[in-house]
Chains A and B, each alone.
Chain A
Amino acid sequence: MYEKILEKPRSFYDNYPRKDGDITVTHYCPGCGHGIAHKMIAEALSDLNLAERTILISPVGCSVFAYYYFDVGNIQAAHGRAPAVATGVKRANPDSIVISYQGDGDLAAIGGDEIMQAANRGEQITVFFINNAIYGMTGGQMAPTTLVEQKTTTSPYGRNPHNEGFPIRVCELLSSLEAPVYIERVSLHNSAARAKARKAIRKALQVQADRKGFSLVEILSGCPTGWKVKQPSDSLDWIEKYMLPYFPVGVFKDNTEKAEPFRYIENVPPKSELPKLIDIPMEDKVVQASMADLPGPYRNPRIKIAGFGGQGVLSLGVAIAQLGLMQGYDVSWLPSYGPEMRGGTAHCHVMVSEHIIGSPLVTASTVCVAMNKPSLEKFEKELVPGGLLITNTSMIDIEPTRKDVEWLPIPATEMASELGNIRFGNMVVLGAYLQKTGLVPLKVAFDGLHIFLKAKRFIPDNEKAIQVGADYVSKKLAGK
């Protein structure tokens, strides 16, 4: 069969000025499979007229300098990471043709996860995987594809499956995934095999050009130097004799007919729509209020709110901060986050201030809201003398130990239950707190619900809960 590999196609440079030394020859050893594979890929890119759109990712390995040769856009990647780099560049340039060119150490050892995950995402990239059963660049150490009993500098007694496991069959592994469109293993050991390799390379690139998804061609390839064969051409026999029996050539997956083309990004909305799409309000209802008329202890509150997860402790804090913001005050809300929340208790620090807030941490609180007993026990001691202590008496059957603070007991859970859902207990407390202190008018709280309440259908119920809490305090203050 006629072989065209020596003719330099248009996607391959005529000489290699990026290279040190003799720029007319490649840096590969005589008989190296990389050089042959390069030419086949370049030829396919030219024939399919893809070179102009192509971006090649060079790996770490002997082909680290693939960019000396390919007349395409080039990126050199970290060891094993080419499929992740390819993902990034492809997503940024969805119309480009992205090639991840990798050796077996690069792809199947250090980059094992990156290749599997890129394949699994069905990235529209093409991977050319050069399997030469050895680490060429670093001087012939064992690769994940090194054959059983094969001697390398790090398996000097031959690969021992009990110590280093068996060679990894990448095509077989990856073809078990749902997403990949086309996966084939080919070999370079004779001209018939090379003809098939050429076809597979072309097909893999076509899959990408058609936007169908992920394609990979594994190429069994000679490393005369690493294998320490007598002369370069012996490596062809070596492939046939040792590699082919373990790494059968053939198509492992081919969905090219069925796969539907797809685009990553369908449309980009105009810039003017951006704020709305990312929930940035273009106007707000902020007024500049003042706390001057409030009794001293209620000004610039430093609030600690605590209770069981599910009692709406964190959202009560958010609500107070949101209302403070609407009154033109500086506000902060800081949650307890993480496992302690999962354990059941949650608390948050809320500050509403006429001045710039320094530390958002509430250590000496002026207001403490305890929605359950453990919260009361834990946080009442933080209150400053004269501070306001609100307890949810539905869940707390003890009296506070602090006698130097103002105590506002309220059966919030029961009151919420009468409204139909104990989850409104936090809004009952909000109403009571606002009525008690006058920090924010109730009307603002009703407006605020439209901002801080995520489930808009519950706005009427929450409004009622706020009102009920406020009424409870008014009645109490009126001595009823």
Chain B
Amino acid sequence: MAKQLIKGNEAVIKGAALAGCVAYFGYPITPASEIAEAAAKYFPLIGRTFIQAESEIAAMNMVYGAASAGVRCMTASSGPGISLKQEAVSYCAGAQLPCVIVDIMRGGPGLGNIGPEQADYNQVVKGGGHGNYKVIVLAPNSAQEMCDLTMKAFDLADKYRSPVYVLTDGVIGQMMEQVEFPTREIIDPPRYDWGVHGDQVTRHNLITSIFLSHSELEEHNLKLQEKYRTIEANELMTDEYQTEDAEILLMGYGIVSRVLRSTVDYAREAGIRAGLLRPVTVWPFPVKRIQEFCAQVKKILVVEMSNGQMVQDVRLAVEGRVPVEFYGRMGGVVPSAEEILDVLKKL
């Protein structure tokens, strides 16, 4: 294994290739386009499919189609494109189709701008499309994790037959860092036998999200909810820094968690016992871990590049046991560690 200096967005595609993803369907959008470009460059060379779809709607429905065939497939986009994908994501959740969707968040609402933001949290983590469904959401904060968590996303998608998001911001997508690709783990692209392969064996398989009878649909929904509880019980991932003796808990994901790591260092130099809890899965959400911290810390400060979306989940977990403060920047502005330190000092 060797270290390579590479953009997070490109690391996604190399990871996907190693993980046996056979098809990429996408539509260009800044700051996610390098993902499509890398797929366009590499996939044809290794016998895999790249299609630039006519829209994110079509791209996500192509994913629905390829996933129906029981193969690993993916798409990627940013805010405006994710809005368009939501219909088919809901269909994938309903029909229990595994797939990976990468969201490199940019500024909104509307066309907003192409700067980094974290304002897709609600539309991604809360389901986003219609119906009673959840999606697993992984939140990388480095180029290395863009590779690793993309690979992990494929495993989780298959394990639970569910769409899995890789959710991060423009900074993590655009930044170059060193990545060690796990070349020993190259897997042969799998093909699942519940899919429709166009052969005698799978001829009687049916991929659908319709259940006409109300009771059958309720039963289907209950099964989905049960699956989500299993995921909550088994797949939570967090990352902590200097939390052992922390009096103030900082929380953030994506690029913010990187900034907060520096804030913790500065705070400690200034005599403030700060620690960082970073959700690596933002769904499932570290509810229990946060509740444990309520007995330890005096305050929680949640920092996001949004108007305060994840903080709502923190407050739900905390249930008023300790004060939960919020600091947010929007529009493409990334808060600096120094700026957050000032906020900390004023708490």
Contact = CB atoms under 8 A, between A and B. Distances in A.
A280 interface: yes
Contacts of B22: 92
Interface in A94-114: 95-98, 113-114
A6 interface: no
A353 to B, nearest CB: 11
Given A78-B91, A278-B14, A333-B175, A91 B208 contact: no
Interface string A275-316: 101111111101000000000000000000000000000000
B54 A117 contact: yes
A78 B61 contact: yes
Contact of B203 (A72, A267, A363): A72
Q: Which of A81, A114, A451 has the most CB of B within 10 A?
A: A81
B251 to A, nearest CB: 15
A337 B47 contact: no
A480 interface: no
Binding site secondary structure of chain A: mixed
Given A334-B175, A338-B30, A282 B203 contact: no
Contact of A67 (B31, B170, B206): B206
Contacts of A274: 17-18, 46, 186
A88 B68 contact: yes
Contacts of B210: 64-65, 76
Given A75-B208, A265-B47, A55 B336 contact: no
Interface string B68-99: 11110100000000000001100100010000
Q: Which of A277, A283, A452 has the most CB of B within 10 A?
A: A277
Interface string B57-70: 11101111111111
Interface residues of B, number: 86
A5 interface: no
A333 B5 contact: yes
B55 interface: yes
Contact of B261 (A65, A86, A280, A358): A358
Interface string A60-94: 00001101000111111110010011111111110
A470 B122 CA distance: 52
A184 B183 CA distance: 50
Given A84-B61, A361-B336, A78 B88 contact: yes
B198 A96 contact: yes
B208 A67 contact: yes
Interface stretch (A318-326, A365-373, A409-417): A318-326
Q: How large is the interface on A (under 10, 10 to 19, 20 to 34, 35 or more residues)?
A: 35 or more
B61 A91 contact: no
B46 A277 contact: yes
B93 to A, nearest CB: 12
A279 B53 CA distance: 25
Binding site secondary structure of chain B: mixed
Contact of B258 (A273, A338, A358): A358
B274 to A, nearest CB: 12
Contacts of A95: 198
Contact of A268 (B46, B53, B71, B262): B46
Contacts of A96: 197-199
Nearest to B187: A271
Given A331-B5, A333-B5, A337-B31, A359 B336 contact: yes
Contacts of B261: 356, 358-359
A271 B22 CA distance: 13
Given A81-B61, A359-B258, A89 B69 contact: yes
Contact of A113 (B45, B58, B91, B264): B58
Contacts of B206: 18, 67, 74-76
Contacts of B203: 51-52, 71-73
A114 B54 contact: yes
Interface of A: 18, 20, 51-55, 57-58, 64-65, 67, 71-78, 81, 84-93, 95-98, 113-114, 116-117, 121, 264-269, 271, 273-275, 277-284, 286, 318, 321-322, 325, 330-335, 337-339, 356-361, 363-364, 451-452
**Which 3 A-B residue pairings sit nearest by Cβ, starting from the closest?**
A88-B65, A96-B198, A268-B47
18 contacts: A55-B69, A73-B198, A73-B205, A75-B208, A78-B91, A81-B64, A85-B64, A88-B23, A93-B197, A96-B197, A114-B61, A268-B46, A273-B46, A277-B45, A278-B45, A280-B4, A318-B176, A363-B338
